[in-house]
């Protein structure tokens, strides 16, 4: 939940934009009527639908993000748009959620996690297939970093590893599945990784790279809303990545998500969190194993 979503999906983390002003310093009249009441209804809807807690200071950001949806639906007032949302659930809910999620990510962000992931993959793949879940995959950088780690850990482009990569935002999932990035997105990767895992574009695609099909074959992308009562993924997983997403949920929502993660993780599995996250309020479910790495609270003593 692209769900802060590190490789992930990070939700609204932008500062509110100042109101536009005219030459005399007065506020410019907005294109669409937008009241504080409208904003509070939007805050309630996105929290109920996706668990996202919008800061009260995000009113200008919300106006900017959703104004395009009013244009697309030929509406002139936010109150009309809200009536559309509060009616029968339809395709506009997907567009509404996509508009209000912010997706910040990078390849191999928080690199220490991938060192531990490689160790886990080496240990497990010696005896069976490794199963991983990237639960807030955003535009795919995190999931592809997991796949690259698997290849490097096993020394083959076809390791015994399968990765499920999910996000609530269908727009970023489409970008992730395409696996096409501008050169600035991969500039921090080593030349060896670029050669091994990407194809360079030419002609009209100059300045672009595409993930090699062998790497993409390790990943299955699908939509998952972390607020759903049941997740359409099949565990148990050896590791779940859910980084820089939980900070956008309140503690009660975090706890309910962790409750659903726990039975999907193997007894000796790992849960990777973001650098700004901690689960001190869920010690009955998970205990800290390392730097923002958790294991099940009832994990067997001495688990690898």
β partners of residue 198: 211
Note the CATH number of domain 112-296.
3.40.50.150
Q: For the ranges 15-19, 111-115, 237-241, which has the lowest average pLDDT?
A: 15-19
User: Is the pLDDT confidence value at 12 over 50?
Assistant: no
User: Is the pLDDT confidence value at 11 over 70?
Assistant: no
pLDDT tens across 192-236, in order?
A: 999 999 999 988 888 999 999 999 999 999 999 998 999 999 999
Give yes or no: 195 in active site. Answer: no
Q: In the structure, what pLDDT confidence band is assigned to residue 125 with cuts at 50, 70 and 90?
A: very high
Among 246, 243, 289, 268, smallest CA distance to 53 is for: 246
User: Is the CB of residue 285 less than 8 Å from the CB of residue 83?
Assistant: no
What pTM did the predictor assign?
0.73
pLDDT tens across 52-87, in order?
A: 778 888 899 899 889 989 999 999 899 999 988 887
Give yes or no: 167 in active site. Answer: yes
The better pLDDT of the pair 244, 7 is held by 244
Q: What is the 3-state secondary structure (H, E, C) of the chain?
A: CCCCCCCECCCCCCCCCCCCECCCCCECCCCCECCHHHHHHHHHHHHHHHCCCCCHHHHHHHHHHHHHHHHHCCCCEHHHHHHHHHCCCCHHHHHHHHHCCCCECCCCCCCHHHHHHHHHHHHHHCCCCEEEEECCCCCCHHHHHHHHHHHHHHCCCCCCEEEEEEECCHHHHHHHHHCEEEHHHHCCCCHHHHHHHEEECCHHHCCEEEECHHHHCCEEEEECCCCCCCCCCCCCEEEEECCCCHHHCCHHHHHHHHHHHHHHEEEEEEEECCCCCCCHHHCCCEEEEECCEEEECCCCCCCC
Tell me how many degrees the CA angle 112-225-234 measures, rounded to the nearest 5.
Answer: 70
User: Is the pLDDT confidence value at 29 over 70?
Assistant: no
Single out the catalytic residue among 6, 167, 169, 238.
Answer: 167
In the chain, pLDDT over 90 holds for what percent of residues?
60
Q: In the structure, what pLDDT confidence band is assigned to residue 173 with cuts at 50, 70 and 90?
A: very high
| pLDDT, position 104 | 62
pLDDT tens across 235-282, in order?
A: 999 999 999 888 778 899 999 999 999 999 999 999 999 887 889 999
Single out the catalytic residue among 65, 109, 243, 270.
Answer: 65
Among 226, 290, 231, smallest CA distance to 264 is for: 231
Dihedral (C-alpha) 29, 32, 36, 39: value to the nearest 10 degrees?
A: -140
| pLDDT, position 116 | 97
User: Is the CB of residue 239 less than 8 Å from the CB of residue 133?
Assistant: yes
User: Is the CB of residue 107 less than 8 Å from the CB of residue 139?
Assistant: no
The single residue listed with the structure tokens 């690259």 is 148
Q: Sketch the domain layout of the chain as residue ranges.
A: 112-296
User: Is the CB of residue 211 less than 8 Å from the CB of residue 186?
Assistant: no
The better pLDDT of the pair 49, 204 is held by 204
């Amino acid at each position: 939940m692209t769900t802060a979503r590190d490789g992930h999906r990070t939700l609204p983390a932008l500062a509110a934009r100042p109101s536009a002003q005219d030459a005399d310093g007065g506020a410019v009249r907005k294109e669409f009527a937008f009241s504080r009441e409208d904003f509070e209804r939007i805050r309630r809807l996105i929290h109920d639908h996706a668990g996202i807690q919008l800061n009260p200071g995000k009113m200008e950001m919300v106006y900017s993000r959703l104004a395009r949806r009013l244009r697309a639906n030929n509406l002139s007032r936010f109150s009309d748009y809200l009536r559309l949302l509060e009616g029968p659930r339809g395709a506009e809910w997907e567009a509404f959620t996509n508009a209000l999620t912010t997706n910040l990510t990078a390849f191999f962000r928080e690199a220490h996690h991938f060192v531990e992931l490689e160790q886990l993959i080496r240990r497990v793949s010696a005896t069976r297939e490794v199963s991983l879940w990237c639960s807030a995959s955003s535009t795919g950088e995190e999931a592809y970093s997991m796949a690259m780690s698997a290849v490097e850990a096993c020394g083959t482009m076809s390791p015994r590893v399968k990765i499920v990569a999910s996000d609530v935002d269908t727009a970023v999932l489409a970008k992730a599945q395409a696996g096409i990035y501008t050169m600035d997105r991969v500039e921090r990767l080593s030349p060896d990784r670029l050669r091994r895992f990407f194809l360079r574009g030419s002609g009209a695609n100059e300045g672009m790279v595409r993930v090699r099909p062998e790497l993409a074959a390790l990943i299955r992308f699908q939509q998952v809303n972390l607020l759903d009562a049941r997740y359409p993924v099949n565990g148990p997983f050896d590791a779940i990545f859910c980084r820089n997403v939980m900070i956008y949920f309140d503690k009660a929502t975090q706890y309910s998500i962790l409750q659903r993660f726990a039975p999907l993780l193997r007894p000796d599995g790992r849960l990777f969190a973001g650098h700004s996250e901690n689960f001190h309020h869920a010690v009955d479910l998970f205990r800290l194993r390392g730097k923002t790495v958790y294991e099940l609270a009832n994990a067997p003593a001495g688990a690898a």
